[in-house]
Structure 1
Amino acid sequence: MKGSVRFENVTKRFGEVVALKPLSIDIAPGQLVTLLGPSGCGKTTTLRLIAGLESASEGRILIGGEDVTHLSATYRKVSMVFQSYALFPHMTVLENVAYGLTVSRVPRAEAQGRAEHALQTVGLTGFGARLPSELSGGQQQRVAVARAIVLEPEVLLLDEPLSNLDAKLRRHVREEIREIQQRLGLTAVYVTHDQEEAMAVSDRIIVMKNSEIAQEGSPFDLYDRPASAFIADFIGDANLIDVEVLSSDAETQIAYLDRRLTLPLRDVARGPAKMVLRPHHVRLSREAGPDTHPVQVSYAAWLGNSIQYTLDSPMGSIFAIAVPEPSPLRNGDTAHLHFDPADIRLVPA
């Protein structure tokens, strides 16, 4: 049970405003679980409830099997990495990392030794004498992680930890955080609004919308088996096309436009639905075929490793991602769209 986190019907209200509807979650020891969602969905409130920085209006919070619902942040075995790093500018890196131990009255020699070990863990051996201003953004973030793990928490909390970094550095630091978390076997709860970041670091993702859980599961589950149009569009982008489910048994037959299509899906409810067509599943050709749809390129963007197209089609506007080719389509070109029925998923209308 050490390192587990459990919410039992936890609600948070600020006056008349319900910031978090009754929420029940279970996080197993050693897992990295990401709370993902748009601004205002309740993910940061959930993190602050785990940390003890907010108190629950109703329900119970357990950490490591212990009821901590009414326990202050000081007495919870959690550490938090903040979006702003919150390093003391007048202290050296070593002093910053050792600060939590110092205020807990750990003997100076022991605090310094543990701080040096934490810096070694995050790959910053030899940086202890520097000031935070002498470090890069990525190095400062690693100092913040070292300061959190030196306290030997049961749960590590990370609140938008990469939002202040540029895109390339963000990818590098998220890999380092994930490697440290796995190597130390830490339970971690990670908050972000960036779906790519969540998919890259998580064992499990909890997607939140309107102060409650919209869907939870592994990154693959959420991408390949979205439960709603919101999840399909939020996790990885999607073209959502109106269809009618005509029958469903061993296979599913749908109707859209003037066409019928059989999908290798089972047990789909009949009636209106949305067809989920991922941008990279869109295939474009210059020649028409028996299962193609005519399209016109309204926008083309060459991004080096891919080309992004916005297409006008009988199904509506379609977003497509294609591999670069010697003669790519250009704005105003006509083409023909097709896709593999095996790549299609359906969500409720």
Structure 2
Amino acid sequence: MSIMQKTGSVQFRDVVKKYGSVTALKPLNLEIQQGELVTLLGPSGCGKTTTLRLIAGLEAATEGTIYIGGKDVTHLTATYRNVSMVFQSYALFPHMSVVDNVSYGLRVNKVPAKEAKAKAEEGLAMVGLAGYGERLPSELSGGQQQRVAVARAVVLEPEVLLLDEPLSNLDAKLRRHVREEIREIQQKLGLTAVYVTHDQEEAMAVSDRIIVMNKAEIAQSGTPRELYNQPNSAFIADFIGDANVVDCEIAGFSEGSVSLNVGGASVVLPYSGPACQHGKLAIRPEGISVSQDGTNGIAAGIAYAAYLGNQIQYSLNTGMGKLFAIDHNLSATVIPTGAEAFIHLKEEGLAFLPEA
């Protein structure tokens, strides 16, 4: 393969971004390793797009230092940073052929026309669009246009590939397909990639690591599994997947665990943080077993029950409040709305959330 990627790491050191009196990004420290795909995830206005634009050089840092590939690029504009961005709008030139769109950046960088075209055709083959070079963007589907945008970015051999909500204009089924392709290309080329989305499922599907942002700062960073199973706050528990966050009583701490009383039941969970006096319990919907077996169970009333083909969903009235539960045992009998039932808590669906 003649397209050789020279990927680099990204570091932020106490980076702040202000617009007048408004702080869009509080002092931010992060490190993205070479060859890693990191997703910036969070609600609107949390600072994720600002962070991406600071990496790209489309915004200037108010304070702090930004490094790409170990080089201080804080005061370099986008033109002088070896990064490429894939936009949610694709940003293809409608009057240019597909191959001309992909080779455009190369030609701007004074790459000879013959070499630029050869690299563009190789980039199109890489994203599964060999033979599409002479078509116009209007003759492609939305998913194909997005792949053209990825090819155009990759052929520039950037140190860092930036993706800004790249799938937001695609329907749900196509989103799954294209995100798999993006991940495959990133891994095949060993690209350092920074991906921005507000879609939790998308982030979990493509990422080596997710940085969840809230209120202009990092709320938690970790692998998809770590964030789902070990949220550090009610915000993370609720934002990454569904969670029932309920009050609990702390019975005590021991080496690597915490004992809790919740809803009349006792649970012991892994916990390695500092001891505290107050906390809550996050209960994942699949961490609740619903049955009419009352042995060591917590009484519940079925407020709503629905069979959805691949799961059974319950809304439950309990002494802890209203809970949402999912049962993946499709051979189980659906307990009807209005019936009395019992719930049992599964350790693998629970997480302790300490409070200061």
For this structure pair, what is the TM-score category when the shorter chain's length is used for normalisation?
over 0.9
Q: Does the alignment pair 1:59 with 2:64?
A: yes
Q: 1:340: Cα distance to partner?
A: 2.6
Give the C-alpha shift of residue 259 in structure 1.
Answer: 4.4
Q: Out of 268, 276, 291, which is 2:282 matched to?
A: 276
Once the two structures are overlaid, the 10-residue window that deviates more, 332-341 or 38-47, is: 332-341
Match of 2:326 among 318, 321, 324: 321
The reply to whether residue 236 of structure 1 matches residue 266 of structure 2 is no
* CA distance in 1 between partners of 2:308 and 2:169 (Å): 23
Residue 4 (structure 1) aligned with residue 9 (structure 2): yes
1:83 equivalent to 2:85? Answer: no
Q: Cα offset for 1:253?
A: 2.2
User: Could you tell me which of 223, 229, 232 is aligned with 1:227?
Assistant: 232
Q: How many Å apart are 1:330 and its aligned residue?
A: 3.1
Q: Does the 8 Å contact 1:301/1:307 carry over to 2? A: yes
Find the partner of 1:163 among 168, 174, 190.
168
Over 3 Å counting, the alpha-carbon distance change for 1:199 and 1:133 in structure 2 is same
Task: Find out whether 1:288 has 2:289 as its counterpart.
Answer: no
Query: In the alignment, which residue of structure 2 is the partner of 1:105?
Result: 110
Give the deviation of 1:327 after TM superposition.
3.3
Superimposed CA distance per residue, residues 230-277 of structure 1 (whole angstroms, 9 cap, x where no aligned partner): 111111211111012121114432223444444454555242211111
User: For 1:129-168, what aligned pairs fall within 5 Å after superposition?
Assistant: 129-168=134-173
Residue 327 of structure 1 aligns to a residue whose secondary structure is coil
Q: What is the CA RMSD across the aligned residues, in angstroms?
A: 1.6
Give the corresponding residue for 1:201: 206
8 Å Cα contact 1:2/1:65 also seen in 2: no
- Which residue in the other structure is 1:173 paired with? 178
Aligned counterpart, 1:331 = 337
1:345 equivalent to 2:355? Answer: no
**SS across alignment from 1:125:** coil
Contact 1:8 1:61 in 2 (8 A): yes
Structure 1 residue identity aligned to 2:216: S
- Aligned-pair CA distance for 1:2: 4.8
Secondary structure of the residue that 1:8 maps to in structure 2? strand
Contact 2:7 2:192 in 1 (8 A): no
CA distance in 2 between counterparts of 1:142 and 1:342 reads: 38
Residues 342, 171 of structure 1: alpha-carbon distance in 2 compared, 3 angstrom cutoff: closer
Bigger shift: residues 48-57 or 327-336: 327-336
Structure 2 length as normaliser, TM-score?
0.93
The Cα of 1:12 is off from its aligned counterpart by 0.3
Alignment CA distance shift 1:115-1:334 (3 Å): same
Letter in 2 for 1:29: Q
Q: Map residues 248-259 of structure 1 onto 2, 5 A cutoff.
A: 248-250=253-255, 251-259=257-265
Distance (whole Å) between structure 1 residues aligned to residue 94 and residue 280 of structure 2: 53
1-side partners of 2:251 and 2:212: how far apart? 30
- 2-structure distance, mates of 1:341, 1:117: 50
The 3-state SS of whatever aligns with 2:173 is helix
Shift of 1:299: 2.5
Percent of matched pairs sharing the same residue: 61
Could you say what secondary structure the match of 1:120 adopts? helix
| Stretch deviating more after TM superposition (337-346 or 162-171) | 337-346
Task: State the alpha-carbon separation in 2 of the partners of residues 268 and 338 from structure 1.
Answer: 28
Offset, 1:82: 0.3
Q: Which of residues 88, 92, 98 is equivalent to 1:93?
A: 98
Which residue among 14, 23, 29 is the counterpart of 1:24? 29
> Which of 34, 39, 63 is the matching residue for 2:39?
34
CA contact (8 A) 1:243 1:274 kept: yes
Separation (CA, whole Å) in 2 of partners of 1:260 and 1:154: 51
Query: Of 304, 313, 326, which residue of structure 1 is paired with 2:309?
Result: 304
Inter-CA distance 313–42: structure 2 relative to 1 (3 Å threshold): same
The residue type paired with residue 304 of structure 2 is Y
Q: Distance in 2 between matches of 1:161 and 1:274?
A: 36
Structure 2 residues not aligned, in runs of 5+: 1-5
Change (3 A) 1:262 1:189: closer
- What is the one-letter code of the residue matched to 1:329? I
CA contact (8 A) 1:244 1:270 kept: no
More divergent stretch after superposition (233-242 vs 251-260): 251-260
**Which of the numbers 199, 217, 222 marks the counterpart of 1:217?**
222
Work out the CA distance in 2 between the residues paired with 1:56 and 1:210: 18
Is the 8 Å Cα contact of residues 248 and 268 (structure 1) preserved in structure 2? no
Count of residue correspondences: 348
CA contact (8 A) 1:42 1:211 kept: yes
